[in-house]
Amino acid sequence: MFEGLFTALVTPFRGGALDEPALRELVERQVAAGVDGIVPCGSTGESATLAPEEHCRVVEIAVEAARGRVQVVAGTGSNNTREAIDLTERAKRAGADGALLISPYYNKPTQDGIVAHYAAVARATSFPLLVYNIPGRTASNIAPSTMARLADLEHVVGVKESSGDLVQVSQVIARCPEEFAVLSGDDALALPLLALGGRGAISTTSNVAPAEMGELVRAFRRGDLARARALHYRLLPLMDALFCETNPIPVKAALALQGLIGDEIRLPLTPVTDPNRERLRVVLKELALL
């Protein structure tokens, strides 16, 4: 159901509020670049600092701006199962194609609790759900055996895998049904994950270089490994620079350098440091992205 390149979209702000015109322009740019989908309100979209109404408005704008030309998978995760259900239902009503839900963070549920969480959301919403496994942010890892249990749940159709562990990714792909979409959440591991049998990527880098990231995924999927490998190594310095500070600090700074959004981020995140801004500028110029 969800395959190819999806962009984990930033949320632009102006004067402390959502910059709706900039958001619409970002969506249009992604569509024009040929991505397969966009993911508003994920980690890259600063979902943790969006008020509930802002969160829902971002999803509504993304759906409106996409106009059915690309899929919209709304970030609707929470460590509160009832809140996750509410956000998912609202994304469904807004016209999204599916939802991405981070594994519950901070409260550190057991593996059984993780399964129960997703099962409750799936049962309540009857909506296509992507699991989001990112232990570095949640303080808990979804084990491959648990992922196989999740893959058996009706409406749970795939996972954004950001564990950074290719052995674990291999075990997930081996244990889950073929139709269960395993998507890379680590840009530098997108090509290796595709080689293991993954279906695509949910990318931060594609905010800045959507056409190139899309071509990387498409080249691999059509069997042109040499082209995919060349793009991987071309983009690797950018992928590295975009994670020189906590995501999405660098990617928002890069988009600001490109003149696409204002350089505004919400506390407790702070603007990129001057040395790292210069590093981004150099990499963007070298790739002719500035």
What confidence score (pLDDT) does residue 26 get?
98
Q: Is 105 a catalytic residue?
A: no
Residue type, 34: G
Domain-located, residue 186: yes
Domain-located, residue 105: yes
State the virtual CA torsion across 61, 67, 70, 75 in degrees, nearest 10: 30
Range of the domain at 17: 4-224
What confidence score (pLDDT) does residue 136 get?
92
- Residues 6+ away with beta carbon under 8 Å from 24: 61, 64, 65
Domain-located, residue 265: no
What confidence score (pLDDT) does residue 279 get?
98
What confidence score (pLDDT) does residue 71 get?
98
Q: Is 233 a catalytic residue?
A: no
Helix 111-125 to helix 81-94 angle (10° resolution) is 30
Domain-located, residue 132: yes
Strand pairing class (17-18; 13-14): antiparallel
Domain-located, residue 85: yes
Write the Ramachandran bin of 10: left for phi over 0, alpha for psi from -120 to 50, otherwise beta: beta
Total-model pTM: 0.96
Per-residue pLDDT 10s for the chain (290 aa) are 899 999 999 999 999 999 999 999 999 999 999 999 999 999 999 999 999 999 999 999 999 999 999 999 999 999 999 999 999 999 999 999 999 999 999 999 999 999 999 999 999 999 999 999 999 999 999 999 999 999 999 999 999 999 999 999 999 999 999 999 999 999 999 999 999 999 999 999 999 999 999 999 999 999 999 999 999 999 999 999 999 999 999 999 999 999 999 989 999 999 999 999 999 999 999 999 99
Would you state the structure tokens that stand for residue 63, as one six-digit string? 């759906």
Domain-located, residue 116: yes
What confidence score (pLDDT) does residue 92 get?
98
Domain-located, residue 246: no
Identify the active-site residue in 92, 160, 252, 285. Answer: 160
Residue 163's CATH number:
3.20.20.70
Structural domain count, the chain: 1
Identify the active-site residue in 92, 118, 132, 252. Answer: 132
Domain-located, residue 126: yes
Q: Where are the alpha helices (H) located in 126-175, listed in sequence order? A: 135-138, 144-151, 166-175
Cα separation, 134 vs 77, in Å, equals 12
